[in-house]
């Protein structure tokens, strides 16, 4: 696997849409004094964390969603599976972020936009390969998308000034 600095450079320089450069920052770290070097990850817009997660959120946030043994088992067994619930609760860490990047970096943009992994889909909607025409097509079905995806879609649409829409509440 690549180093974090290499991953971040690819995400922020190679893949990120021109309109978002300097505004979107990716963050991941592991803490050397934590057992197993656990850590956290985040995606920020102009320095403000839009989503963030950390290993220890798995325990702290567990009481915030209804007890669902299937969901809990999936999170333990398939740590890389990141759905909207996991993103909203912040129950992901830097390892999930690295795994999402690995998936994103090794498949087409079309596959990434349709991924079951929400982190992959977020990376894809911020990608330069998603142009205004595709953004406008996605807009037609945005109400069917998960809240996390809609939030990043709104950030992208606002940055691109697509279809004359500049207010994120329109999405």
What residue spans define the domains of the chain? 4-170
| Residue 2 DSSP label | -
pLDDT of 129 strictly over 50: yes
Mean pLDDT throughout 120-137?
96
Q: What is the pLDDT of residue 170?
A: 45
Q: What is the pLDDT of residue 71?
A: 55
Among 118, 93, 123, smallest CA distance to 106 is for: 123
If you average pLDDT over every residue of the chain, what do you get?
A: 82
Q: What is the pLDDT of residue 37?
A: 56
Q: What is the pTM of this model?
A: 0.81
Count of Cβ atoms closer than 10 Å to residue 65 Cβ? 14
Among 155, 160, 159, 129, smallest CA distance to 142 is for: 155
Q: What is the pLDDT of residue 72?
A: 57
Contact 140, 171 (CB under 8 A): no
Mean pLDDT throughout 164-168?
44
Mean pLDDT throughout 23-28?
94
Joined together, the tokens standing for residue 146 give 């998960």
Listed as own residue / partner, the contacts of 47-54 with beta carbons closer than 8 Å and 24 or more positions apart are 50/151, 50/152, 50/155, 51/87, 51/90, 51/122, 51/148, 52/27, 52/90, 53/86, 53/87, 53/89, 53/90, 53/91, 53/92, 53/93, 53/96, 54/90, 54/93
Q: What are the tens digits of pLDDT across the range 53-95? A: 876 555 444 455 555 555 555 555 555 467 888 888 887 888 8
User: Per mean pLDDT, which of 38-42, 79-83, 167-171 is the most reliable?
Assistant: 38-42
Look at 140 and 53; give whichever has higher pLDDT.
140
Percent of the chain residues past pLDDT 70, beyond the cut: 73
Mean pLDDT throughout 37-59?
81
Count of Cβ atoms closer than 10 Å to residue 59 Cβ? 9
Q: What is the pLDDT of residue 85?
A: 82
Mean pLDDT throughout 129-142?
94
Helix, strand and coil content of the chain, in percent to the nearest 5, comes to 55, 15, 30
Contact 83, 90 (CB under 8 A): no
Q: Give the integer Cα–Cα distance in Å for 85 and 72.
A: 11
């Amino acid at each position: 696997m690549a180093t974090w600095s290499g991953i971040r450079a690819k995400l922020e320089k190679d893949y990120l849409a021109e309109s978002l450069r300097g505004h979107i920052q990716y963050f991941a770290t592991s803490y050397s004094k934590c057992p197993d070097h656990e850590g956290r990850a985040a995606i920020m817009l102009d320095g403000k964390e839009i989503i963030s997660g950390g290993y220890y959120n798995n325990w702290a946030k567990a009481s915030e969603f209804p007890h669902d043994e299937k969901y809990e088992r999936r999170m333990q067994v398939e740590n890389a599976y990141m759905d909207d619930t996991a993103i909203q609760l912040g129950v992901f860490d830097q390892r999930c972020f690295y795994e999402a990047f690995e998936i994103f970096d090794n498949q087409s943009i079309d596959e990434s936009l349709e991924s079951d992994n929400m982190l992959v889909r977020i990376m894809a909607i911020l990608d330069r390969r998603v142009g205004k025409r595709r953004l406008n097509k996605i807009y037609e079905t945005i109400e069917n998308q998960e809240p996390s995806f809609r939030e990043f879609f709104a950030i992208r649409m606002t940055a691109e000034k697509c279809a004359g829409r500049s207010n994120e509440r329109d999405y």
